[in-house]
Amino acid sequence: MKAKSDTLAASRRKTLADKASQVGEASNDAKAAVGIRKPTARMPARERRAQILEKAFEFFSENGLTAQTRALADACGVSQRLLYSVFPSKADLIKAVYETEIAGPFKAVWFARLRDRQVPLRERLVNFYREYYDAILTRRWLRLFIYSSLAEVEIAPTYIADVVRNLLQIITEEAAFEAGVKPPEEPALMQELGWVLHGNISHLGIRRHVYKDTTSVPVDVVIEMHVTAFLASIPLLCKR
């Protein structure tokens, strides 16, 4: 069976090569037209890995995570064999995309800045969410995040567990301290209070980048509106 498979593969390659010669001089366009891949350029392993991750991030954000690896390899400009030599499985590649492109852009220094009580909280929150919006809530990031949820891949739950829950707790604790009230003791309620602000900012990114909302109100202005509303509501919400 293996010999027969090899024979068929060799025959297919010869047929494709013949078609390419019939199209004309073996230009890149002619080769692409008959399905012949341009030889993959050699590059250091680290650069190849980074290239595949960047292309995979773009591919997954446009096509979802259920696409076949053959199409993914084509998008990355490599063979399936080379793709699997860098990432042994599709799950490994998705995990690497998460670590590099989803969680990677989040800056740990943001946590420290949010806790810096020498700066007024409103200023801290506005500055943070302006940076978060520009660095994280991009079109590609949001599309991949949504696609991963629809495909039931653990990207969204992992990001929420690793990053967002800590962020929500800090925001709620700092807002309660600023308002002079006691934050909720129940962790789940603490998280929900943080979502009042974070959820609105996240949905702002979805509206602008996914829903194509064309409102003329600048993002910075909307962020300030949400921060102001959140801080004004904290005393009442915590007392309840």
Token pair of 175 as six digits: 């807002």
Give 125-153 as a 3 state SS string: HHHHHHHHHHHCCCHHHHHHHHHHHHCCC
CA 68, CA 71: separation in Å to the nearest integer? Answer: 6
- Predicted local confidence at residue 18, as pLDDT: 54
User: pLDDT tens, 54-108?
Assistant: 999 999 999 888 888 889 899 888 899 999 999 999 899 999 999 999 999 999 9
Contact 176, 146 (CB under 8 A): no
The one-character DSSP state at 26 is -
- Predicted local confidence at residue 32, as pLDDT: 40
Where in the sequence of the chain do the CATH 1.10.10.60 domains occur? 42-102
Residues 6+ apart with CB under 8 A from 80: 69, 70, 73
- Predicted local confidence at residue 103, as pLDDT: 92
Residues 6+ apart with CB under 8 A from 206: 142, 146
CA distances from 163 to 61, 63, 107 (A): 21, 26, 10
Cα maximum dimension of the chain = 80
CA 79, CA 129: separation in Å to the nearest integer? Answer: 40
Contact 114, 132 (CB under 8 A): no
CA 11, CA 81: separation in Å to the nearest integer? Answer: 20
- Given a cut of 50, the residues of the chain with pLDDT beneath it are 1-10, 12-13, 15-17, 19-37
Considering the four listed CATH numbers 1.10.10.60, 1.10.645.10, 1.10.357.10, 3.50.50.100, the one that applies to the domain covering 42-102 is: 1.10.10.60
- Predicted local confidence at residue 239, as pLDDT: 82
Share of the chain above pLDDT 70, in %: 82
Query: What's the pTM value of the predicted model, to 2 decimals?
Result: 0.78
